Structure 1
Amino acid sequence: MAWSPHTPSSQGNLFCIDVGLALLGDELEPNRNVRLCIEEGRIVSIEKGRGTPLVAIPAFVNAHLHVLDYGFAGLAGVAKDMDSLLRWPDGLKARAIQAAPCRSFWGLSRLAKRLSRMGYGVVAVFVEGPGGACRLVREVFAEHGVLALTYGRAYELDMLVGCDGLGAPVLTTRKWVRVALEARSRGFRVAAHISETPEQALLEDYNTALTVGLEHAVHLLYAPPQAHHALAEAGILPVYSPASNVIHWGVEPQPYAPFFALGGDNAGWVAQNPWELARWAMLALRKKGLSIREASKTALKALTVWPLSRLLGVKGINEGEYAFITLLYAPEIVKAIDAYTALLSIGDIDTVVAVLTHLESKSKAQQE
């Protein structure tokens, strides 16, 4: 029988699939003709298989996403400035969400379905609301096979039960610093927007991020190069959102950090195509002198293994790891000499066949 993406072999709870090319481990090592076997959500064996047109790569991660603005896409075009748009609780976006919460969730399922089809297996979502909103966001994404790590926004930590952690809009006020430190002490994940504006950078909020001990720091648009390195050295994941930054500020972030992740930011008015995010990273790295092969490989790491490792402790496609895998139908890439460059040259959302995810996150809030 001719191969099709719908005819993997399975026996009981064991699921096996043959791929023509797999990028294995945290270094994305290309391996040809591989059979991947998964049982109870874990990769139990990686062995020689038969050739197919499939490519297996670690699942794409959207490491920074706002989803409750999805029903209000027009707001970005009518706001006088960023502050009037995003200020909480009286900015345009905040007032729209609070005035019509049902509309805020109206397109969420559609968005989750679209991101899954793009190849995303994990999203890190800043939720403008407490625990109940976090639970809903997580459940909607799970229905489409995507693991959502949720970061709620509340001054009182008891309101974050049901969230994976705290998503602080800034670390430039005493109140948010206090809340972030308390959240860390209580075992919550903590992430924040850092140096998104020149004013925030002048207050050296990147040093506050080091003091708090963030899990990941988003934007860093105006942070000096040494701040990117210092955060990475402290184990804090820098997250760059190039499409959003260009739309909002007319400025591109600079990937100074030795490792980083990529985010789409506001789903209501920013395209979330993972391939475009990776291509931006590749081009930015090329400008810094990397070869096209190294720049492409680094960009793919930023889209996959770096955030998977630092957000979930999953080190790519490895035996014993939980399965977070994006499958592509891409015979041209299977045959390519340089798989990394071929992926960024040819890969697109239309090549995505399926996303295999293990829908568990290790959060204090969910355990409660």
Structure 2
Amino acid sequence: MQVEVLAALAGGELEPVSRPCIDLDDEGVVRGLGKGCSPSRRLLPGVVVLPALCNAHLHILDASIAEAGETLPLNELVELPTGLKYRLLSSLGDEEIAERASTVAARAASEGALYAGVYAELGARGVELVRKIMSAPGSSARILAQPESKSLEAYSRLLREVGGVGLDTALDLAPWELKQLAGEARRIGGHVHVHVSETPELYRSRDYELVLETRPSAAIHLTYLSPEELTELARAGIGLVFCPRSNMYHLGRLPALSLIPALARETMVALGTDNAAWVPPRVAEEMAFAYIAAHSPGRSSAEALAETLLRAATLDCARLLGLEAAAVEEGAPADRLLAAALPEAQWSGSLRVTLVKRLSGAPVSILQALLAG
């Protein structure tokens, strides 16, 4: 089957291509991407094809307590074990949590977010719940388990069993313990993610210096770090995950988003949506919010920012999580590509900027599903 679309973001660099001809075999795999479709091709006017979206940081279990404690400060909501989140989750049964959160996760998948890094609170129980919740067809999750007791032994056990762990702060373990945990993760190809300088208290604790010393896989939030401190983390090869909507909602502050293009030249940068209880896990909205918050005059800076944010919400995010995402290129399965109805792209001055700013309002579907329909 040959399909002609309005545009595509092709290859690992998300290169804009106008009116490409996508050649698909009988298995729905891309066998060619170029110009010159046959007259019998299938025409999809107004459709832009790009890699599926990725959410680098998601707490999905608390989707089951949406808008709980709307007026409470962050520490009263999420502090373990006394925060409202943990009290409410402990009052719900597994079936109720799974049913509620699965609805939210399935909606995110239907909006093109096929990959996610998901914190699994509640120890082994939470891991099984997250596996069930994130089981939508075509979806892949990097589970980052959290033990019920913050000990090196508990984290190491979950790292070996699950392949990833998530820490609330770099202070959850002694410095030597965090260094040992991060080293073990590197040896086994696992992942250690840590919330870093999300609050002023954590920043004053110099938690980012512990992260520099111990080098976990990824540092999340980074809300209070200076450009110089962010650059240090990036040059140490630590993945950086930004969650600007959550930071603005909970703290009224944004990280240094304008630095994202420069940081992405040093390390993997990704976007996450954080707690589904208070911030809907919509990756396209996160991308648009980050762009508008970081935008400054100048076409070259706008283009670089848009390109980096698109990668941070698709291919680079998946790479950071160790998940296999598909670029729009030969060999890509159509069930891993996103098709967005975005007619504005016909007259846009920049396809990348239009996608970043307008994807959240566009009807989207997985390319294979669109063709089957």
What is the TM-score of this pair, normalised by structure 2? 0.81
Q: Which amino acid aligns with 2:12?
A: D
Which residue of the partner structure matches residue 233 of structure 1? 235
Q: 2:49, 2:338 within 8 Å by CA — same for their partners in 1?
A: yes
Counterparts of residues 21-32 of structure 1 (less than 5 Å): 21-31=7-17, 32=19
CA distance in 2, matches of 1:278, 1:147: 20
Q: Does 2:212 align with 1:202?
A: no
Q: Is the 8 A contact 2:296 2:302 kept in 1?
A: no
CA–CA distance in structure 1, aligned partners of residues 97 and 54 of structure 2: 23
- Decide whether the 8 Å contact of 1:35 with 1:47 is kept in 2: yes
Please tell me whether residue 341 in structure 1 is matched to residue 341 in structure 2.
Answer: no
Cross-structure match for 1:192 = 194
Distance 1:342 1:224, change over 3 A: closer
Query: How far 1:167 sits from its partner (Å)?
Result: 0.4
Query: Distance between the aligned counterparts of 1:61 and 1:89, measured in 2?
Result: 29
Provide structure 2 residue ranges, at least 5 long, that are not aligned to the other structure: none
How far 1:249 moved relative to its partner?
Answer: 0.7
Give the Cα–Cα distance (whole angstroms) in 2 for the partners of residues 177 and 60 of structure 1.
36
Q: Does 1:118 align with 2:111?
A: yes
Q: CA deviation at 1:293?
A: 3.2
Give the letter for the 1:201 counterpart: Y
| Contact 1:123/1:149 (<8 A) preserved | yes
Change (3 A) 1:165 1:38: farther
Residue 37 to residue 310, structure 1, CA distance change in 2 (3 Å)? farther
Q: Tell me, in whole angstroms, the C-alpha distance in 1 between the residues paired with 2:367 and 2:238.
A: 27
- Residue 80 (structure 2) pairs with residue 70 (structure 1): no
Residue of 318, 342, 352 corresponding to 1:308: 318
Measure the CA separation in 2 of the matches of 1:184 and 1:320: 34
1:314 and 1:247 map into 2 onto residues whose CA distance is 30
Question: Deviation per CA, 1:249-282, whole angstroms, max 9, x where unpaired?
Answer: 1112222242222111111111233332112222
C-alpha change, 1:235 and 1:149, in structure 2 (3 Å) is: same
Cα distance in 1, alignment partners of residues 358 and 352 from structure 2:
10
SS of 2:220 mapped into structure 1 = strand
Describe the shift of the 1:291–1:88 C-alpha distance in structure 2 as closer, same or farther (beyond 3 A): same
Unaligned runs of 5+ in 1: 1-8, 10-15, 358-368
**Is the Cα contact below 8 Å between 1:70 and 1:267 reproduced in 2?**
yes
What is the CA distance between 1:108 and its match in structure 2? 1.6
- How far has the Cα of 1:141 moved from its partner? 2.1
Contact kept? 1:43, 1:319, Cα under 8 Å: yes
**Which residue in the other structure is 2:165 paired with?**
166
Contact in 2 for aligned 1:151/1:167 (Cα 8 Å): yes
Correspondence for 1:360: none
Partner residue, 1:82: 74
* SS in structure 2 of the partner of residue 261 of structure 1: strand
Number of aligned residues: 342
Task: Check whether the contact 1:121–1:356 (CA below 8 A) recurs between aligned residues.
Answer: no
> 1:166/1:176 Cα in 2 relative to 1: closer, same or farther (>3 Å)?
farther
2:329 matched residue in structure 1: 318
- Tell me if structure 2 keeps the 8 A contact 1:23–1:56: yes
- Cα distance between partner residues in 1 of 2:161 and 2:4: 38
Residue 245 of structure 2 aligns with an amino acid whose one-letter code is A
Q: Distance in 1 between matches of 2:83 and 2:3?
A: 49
Partner of 1:267: 276
- Name 1:221's counterpart in structure 2: 223
Paired AA for residue 84 in structure 1: E
Higher helix share: 2
User: What one-letter code is carried by the residue in structure 2 that aligns with 1:34?
Assistant: C
SS in 1 for 2:295: helix
Note closer, same or farther for the CA distance 1:343–1:313 as it changes in structure 2 (3 Å cut). Answer: same
Task: State whether residues 59 and 355 of structure 1, in contact with CA within 8 Å, keep that contact through their aligned partners in structure 2.
Answer: no
CA distance in 1, matches of 2:26, 2:60: 32
Indicate the residue corresponding to 1:96 in structure 2.
88
Partner Cα separation in structure 1 for residue 160 and residue 26 of structure 2? 31
TM-score by length of 1: 0.82
Letter in 1 for 2:92: A
Note closer, same or farther for the CA distance 1:346–1:305 as it changes in structure 2 (3 Å cut). same
The alpha carbon displacement at 1:42 in A equals 6.6
RMSD: 2.9
SS in 2 for 1:121: strand
Q: State the partner residue of 1:34.
A: 21
* Residues 235, 105 of structure 1: alpha-carbon distance in 2 compared, 3 angstrom cutoff: same
Q: Deviations over 1:70-89 (max 9, x none)?
A: 1212433253x322221112
Q: Is 1:20 aligned to 2:11, yes or no?
A: no
C-alpha displacement at 1:299, in angstroms? 2.4
Query: Partner of 2:287 in structure 1?
Result: 278
| Amino acid in structure 1 at the alignment position of 2:285 | E
Say if 1:203 and 1:293 are closer, same or farther in 2 by CA, change over 3 A: same
Q: Is the 8 A contact 2:166 2:192 kept in 1?
A: yes
What percent of counterpart residues are identical?
29
How far did 1:213 drift? Answer: 2.1
Q: CA deviation at 1:204?
A: 2.1
